[in-house]
Amino acid sequence: MVTSIATVSLSGGLTEKLQACAKAGFDGVEVMDADLTVAYESPEEIRALCHRLGLKIDMLQPLRDAEGVDEATFADNLRRAREKFRTMNRLGTDLLLVCSNAGTATVDDDAVVTSQLGQLADAAAEFGVRIAYEALAWGRFVNDYRHAWRLVEAADRPNLGTCLDSFHILSRGHDPAGIEEIDGEKIFFLQLADAPQLEMDLLSWSRHHRLFPGEGAFDLTGFLKHVLRAGYRGPLSLEVFNDTFRQTDVYRTAAHAQRALIWLADQAGAEEHSRHGKLPAGQPPQGFDFVEIAGADLSEVDQLMNQLGFTFRGRHRRKPVRLWSLGEARIILNEQRKRETPQLAALGLEVAHSGRAADRAQSLGAAPVFRNTSTGEFDLRGVAAPDGTEIFWNGHGEPIRWIGEFEGGMEPGEQHGGIDHVNLSYPWQHFDEAVLFATSALGLEPAASAEVPGPLGLVRSQVMHTADRKVRVPLNLAPPTAPVPPRHVALQCADIITTAARARSRGLRFLPVPDNYYDDLTARLPLDPDFVSTLKELDLLYDRDGAGDFIHFYTPTIGEFFFEIVERRGDYAGYGAPNAPVRLAAQRALTATQSR
């Protein structure tokens, strides 16, 4: 089983798209006719480039509004088609997608359509071309895959088959089980697209909002299983019209697309037919191993951790790297990289089988990262996430062997603490990519998403977590015109009042909370005035749900990073979302002040 993608799913010019598809590991492409039309390269050049890149041109697409028309129109449509057959011969592809007539169909008569499809196939045969006929969801008279298949069957030509597109079938709520009744040999092509459940007209939904598999509301795994049971063994191809993917970097989006397809094939059990083989089993993390902050000068972060009560655990024996811990939370400061600005650069996760986790991520297209290790040092395996953040895996429950490489530090006492959650931020256009990577490669699951009003627009927030919520990674997506917000690590402590008071006595000034916040809090919730006074004095924020309470504060931002300190009381399950607007406004106000 091979992978393919329609060029319309990607940004850039045709040759850039082809280069990116090859680099991402696709076996083939569907060339969108419109992409060829605007390219300076001739069909022969495109053919030769694809040959060099090892890409098969699986199909040219689409020919529209060909059938179900009066005789004069059909004669001209045959002329149109022959011109495209000539182009296909030059391009070196033998399959043409014909979509059911959505515009000019005048005849609601299966006999006419059957006859015209047959004539089209016969004309195609003269050029060695095959036709894949597809029911568009908004086709005028043919808009059900079962109807398209009946017409193909009736026309009965060896070079005429059907093309199935998950969007056109699932968007109309048609039962995909009927696919199993189609002769697998006559399914000439398979196009896969997911989509969110939206209430809008089919055409707009299809042309703007399709997603890669696993990112929407469709059951693509079930869909693909039906297609496999029918006996289809052709390419799994993505045709994803999406306003965002049309804009994002073509190499990155192609890798994202391939990841989605490999994931889907694995879910559907198509791996036995696939050159990619079975994916190693997913490894949901069982805890955070460490977080790494990288930057040219991290002395401010050292000071911050000192103020927060972290224990200094030593310097790496060979590298400009330091380790701090607070209970179970381990923070590595890495000054090896010459990045200007302190930032959250790597994440260590504890899993049952670290090797399998790394193998799985690499099978999903993530590049392994090089780690500067020497003899006797522990070699953690890791990969770069699509945005460059490094992910490392370590065995859960084993002694953390890499700690032995740090020297000259102190032993931690019986310190309570741990990483509550790690908040990663991205530009808006990387939302689906980030979620899919977290799902497929990191073994996290999406919780409900929310929108947080900030001074520069709505920030989209998507929590990713494990089923047991031991590992929680909220993703924040900045609105298009706003800078990407800083990332942060939230640390659990047993007694936030004490922790906050101690940090303050050590000179730490938290993110200041407006007095108005406490007036509003007092109005919203019937709290003990003394308790509110304590919160106000220490710049602490408060939230509660039915199960418990949440008290937290934020440190100042250093570079593109800050800490949050949280205390969860009872079974509070959230992240203090009602307080996020306060943080966003305060951080911006302070940035504006500092930049004056």
Residue 1 or 129: the one with the smaller Cβ distance to a copy of itself is: 129
Minimum gap (Å) between residue 583 Cβ and a copy of itself: 9
- Binding annotation: 134, 165, 191, 239, 421, 488, 564
Residue 87 or 166: the one with the smaller Cβ distance to a copy of itself is: 87
How far is Cα of residue 457 from the mean position of the Cα atoms in its chain? 22
| Residues of this chain that bind a copy of itself (CB under 8 A) | 11-13, 33-34, 36-40, 42-43, 76, 79-80, 83-84, 87, 198-201, 208, 243, 246-248, 428-429, 453, 455-458, 479-482, 512, 514-517, 519-520, 522-524, 526, 581-582, 584-586, 588-589
Q: What amino acid occupies position 150?
A: R
| Residue partners of 188: CB distance under 8 A and separation at least 6 | 95, 130, 131, 132, 161, 162, 163, 234
- Binding annotation for Mg(2+): 421, 488, 564
Q: In what order do the strands lie in the sheet with 561-570?
A: 445-454, 457-465, 472-478, 418-427, 487-492, 561-570, 548-554, 541-545
Q: In what order do the strands lie in the sheet with 343-351?
A: 381-384, 390-395, 343-351, 287-294, 329-334, 321-326, 311-316, 406-408
End-to-end CA distance of the chain: 59
Residue 145 or 554: the one with the smaller Cβ distance to a copy of itself is: 554
Stated length of the chain: 596
Minimum gap (Å) between residue 589 Cβ and a copy of itself: 6
Q: How far apart are CA 87 and CA 487, in angstroms?
A: 51
Residue 31 or 475: the one with the smaller Cβ distance to a copy of itself is: 31
Residue 72 or 413: the one with the smaller Cβ distance to a copy of itself is: 72
| Residue partners of 260: CB distance under 8 A and separation at least 6 | 212, 213, 214, 215, 238, 436, 440
The answer to whether the CB of 131 falls within 8 A of the CB of 159 is: yes
Residue 75 or 467: the one with the smaller Cβ distance to a copy of itself is: 75
Q: What amino acid occupies position 71?
A: E
Which residues is 450 bridged to in the sheet?
A: 461
- Binding annotation for a divalent metal cation: 134, 165, 191, 239
Residue 185 or 451: the one with the smaller Cβ distance to a copy of itself is: 451
Residue 103 or 408: the one with the smaller Cβ distance to a copy of itself is: 103
How far is Cα of residue 514 from the mean position of the Cα atoms in its chain? 36
Minimum gap (Å) between residue 302 Cβ and a copy of itself: 29
Q: Residue 316 is inside which H or E element, if any?
A: strand 311-316
Minimum gap (Å) between residue 35 Cβ and a copy of itself: 9
Per-residue buried b or exposed e for 223-246, using 16+ beta carbons within 10 Å of the residue's own CB: bbbbbbebebebbbbbbbbbebbb
Minimum gap (Å) between residue 454 Cβ and a copy of itself: 8
Minimum gap (Å) between residue 252 Cβ and a copy of itself: 12
The answer to whether the CB of 496 falls within 8 A of the CB of 565 is: yes
